[in-house]
């Protein structure tokens, strides 16, 4: 079980409380597809992904980004059992979606950058530490049921 | 591979950095030491407290070196040759494939913190590619 200090929990939930899940989710997923274009391989039925502008404006990207970040919220609500929270999703990403877990790390780093751009100075080094730890734990949990 | 557009974006971003090299450098390193404590193992001889002169000095060095790389985007191998040797033979930092991801992430967080929306997806992509190219060059001589 991952150990979270009181400070880490506080930093995580105070940031999360201010996050616009729809906006941040859409932005994080769009950036993933733009900065690491090979990730588009998982979204061939999303329509037009031909340019950053197309990706950012793509309604399927926005919707899916929101879905992904909403799911991330489950981790925030269940910091003491992230493993259990993502058990089914891990199996799904392995068995049905066939996503290389490295991609979870990429998305996690991008999410941190998106948060930094939204919160500016309020996204302190301590905040970043807590969030890098969280995205790492989530990525690990999502990879855990791979076989 | 850095496209012409990528190079332009990196140069533009660097212009914004150039007035604040010391601050950007110091904050990048501070964030790296805070978010990735394992990176501190390379600086047992440093005072790593917030605002330390050594962090400021080293941060300034790192950003200046990156700035030199930005001025020589068409010939990174040559521009970074000395640093490549230094990292491979003297410093022997865990190969830049890994550790540079950490530095790159923290530099990008600093840029995002200060530029907000201006750290656009296109800029993000160009900077990420640039840092990746720098890491490749630094790693060339490792073995």
> Is residue B90 predicted with pLDDT exceeding 90?
no
Q: Is A125 on the interface with B (CB under 8 A)?
A: yes
Report how far residue A136's alpha carbon sits from residue A128's, in angstroms, rounded to the nearest whole number: 12
Q: Do A120 and B30 touch (CB under 8 A)?
A: no
φ and ψ at residue A141, rounded to 5 degrees: -65, -40
The pLDDT, as a whole number, for residue B140 is 84
Domains defined along chain A, listed by start:
6-143 (1.10.490.10)
Q: Do B105 and A109 touch (CB under 8 A)?
A: yes
Q: Is A129 on the interface with B (CB under 8 A)?
A: yes
Let me know: does A139 contact A23? Beta carbons within 8 Å. Answer: no
The pLDDT, as a whole number, for residue B126 is 98
> Is residue B141 predicted with pLDDT exceeding 90?
no
pLDDT digits (tens, 9 = 90+) for A6-59: 999 999 999 999 999 999 999 999 999 999 999 999 999 999 999 999 999 999
pLDDT digits (tens, 9 = 90+) for A47-63: 999 999 999 999 999 99
Q: Residue B43, class by beta-carbon neighbours within 10 Å (0-12 exposed, 13-18 middle, 19+ buried)? A: middle
Q: Is A126 on the interface with B (CB under 8 A)?
A: yes
Choice among A59-73, A105-119, B96-110 with the minimum mean pLDDT: B96-110
Q: How many CB pairs under 8 A join A and B?
A: 63
Residue A7's CB is within 10 A of a number of other CB atoms, namely: 11
The pLDDT, as a whole number, for residue B98 is 67
Tokens 């979270």, located at residue: A4
Q: Percentage of chain A with pLDDT > 90?
A: 95
Q: Is A56 on the interface with B (CB under 8 A)?
A: yes
pTM of the model: 0.91
3-state secondary structure B82-139: HHHHHHHHHHCCCCHHHHHHHHHHHHHHHHHHHHHHHCCHHHHHHHHHHHHHHHHHHH
Q: Mutate one of A24, A50, A128 to test the B interface: name it (highest B CB count within 10 A).
A: A128
DSSP state of A37: G
ipTM, interface predicted TM-score of the complex: 0.86
To which H or E segment does residue B41 belong? Answer: none
Q: Do B109 and A128 touch (CB under 8 A)?
A: yes
Q: Mutate one of B1, B34, B50, B114 to test the A interface: name it (highest A CB count within 10 A).
A: B34
Closest residue, chain B, to A116 (C-alpha): B113
pLDDT digits (tens, 9 = 90+) for B111-120: 999 999 999 9
Let me know: does B24 contact B63? Beta carbons within 8 Å. Answer: yes
Q: Could you tell me the pLDDT band of residue B1, with boundaries at 50, 70 and 90?
A: confident
The Cα-based distances of B114 to A16, A144, B5, B88 in angstroms read 20, 36, 22, 32
Nearest to B116 among A27, A56, A117 (CB): A117
> Is residue B36 predicted with pLDDT exceeding 80?
yes
The Cα-based distances of A101 to A38, A71, A108, A140, B97 in angstroms read 14, 16, 11, 8, 18
> Is residue B93 predicted with pLDDT exceeding 90?
no
Q: Is B20 on the interface with A (CB under 8 A)?
A: no
How open is the CA angle A13-B49-B87, to the nearest 5 degrees? Answer: 100
Report how far residue A23's alpha carbon sits from residue A29's, in angstroms, rounded to the nearest whole number: 10
What average pLDDT score do residues A112-120 get? 98
Report how far residue B11's alpha carbon sits from residue B5's, in angstroms, rounded to the nearest whole number: 10
> Is residue B87 predicted with pLDDT exceeding 90?
no
Q: Cα distance from B11 to chain A (closest Cα, Å)?
A: 18
> Is residue B91 predicted with pLDDT exceeding 90?
no
Domains defined along chain B, listed by start:
4-139 (1.10.490.10)
Greatest pairwise CA separation for chain A in angstroms: 44
């Amino acid at each position: 079980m991952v150990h979270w200090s009181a400070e880490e929990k506080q930093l995580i939930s105070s940031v999360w409380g201010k996050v616009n899940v729809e906006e941040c989710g859409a932005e994080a997923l769009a950036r993933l597809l733009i900065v690491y274009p090979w990730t588009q391989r998982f979204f061939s039925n999303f329509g037009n992904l031909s340019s950053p502008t197309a990706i950012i404006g793509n309604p399927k990207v926005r919707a899916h980004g929101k879905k992904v970040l909403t799911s991330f919220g489950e981790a925030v609500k269940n910091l003491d059992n992230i493993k259990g929270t993502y058990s089914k999703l891990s199996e799904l990403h392995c068995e049905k979606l066939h996503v290389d877990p490295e991609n979870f790390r990429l998305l996690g780093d991008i999410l941190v950058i998106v948060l930094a751009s939204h919160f500016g100075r309020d996204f302190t080094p301590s905040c970043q530490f807590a969030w890098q730890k969280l995205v790492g734990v989530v990525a690990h949990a999502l990879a855990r049921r791979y076989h | 591979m850095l496209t012409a557009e990528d190079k332009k974006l990196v140069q533009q971003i660097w212009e914004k950095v150039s007035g604040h090299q010391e601050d950007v450098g110091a904050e990048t390193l501070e964030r790296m030491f805070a978010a990735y404590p394992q990176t501190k193992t390379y600086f047992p001889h440093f005072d790593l407290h917030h605002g330390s002169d050594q962090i400021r000095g080293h941060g300034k060095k790192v950003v200046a070196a990156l700035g030199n790389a930005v001025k020589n985007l068409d010939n990174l191998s040559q521009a970074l040759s000395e640093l490549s040797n230094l990292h491979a033979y003297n410093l022997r930092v865990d190969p830049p494939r890994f550790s540079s991801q950490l530095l790159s992430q923290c530099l990008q967080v600093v840029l995002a913190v200060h530029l907000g929306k201006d750290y656009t997806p296109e800029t993000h992509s160009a900077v990420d590619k640039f840092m990746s190219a720098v890491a490749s060059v630094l790693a060339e001589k490792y073995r």
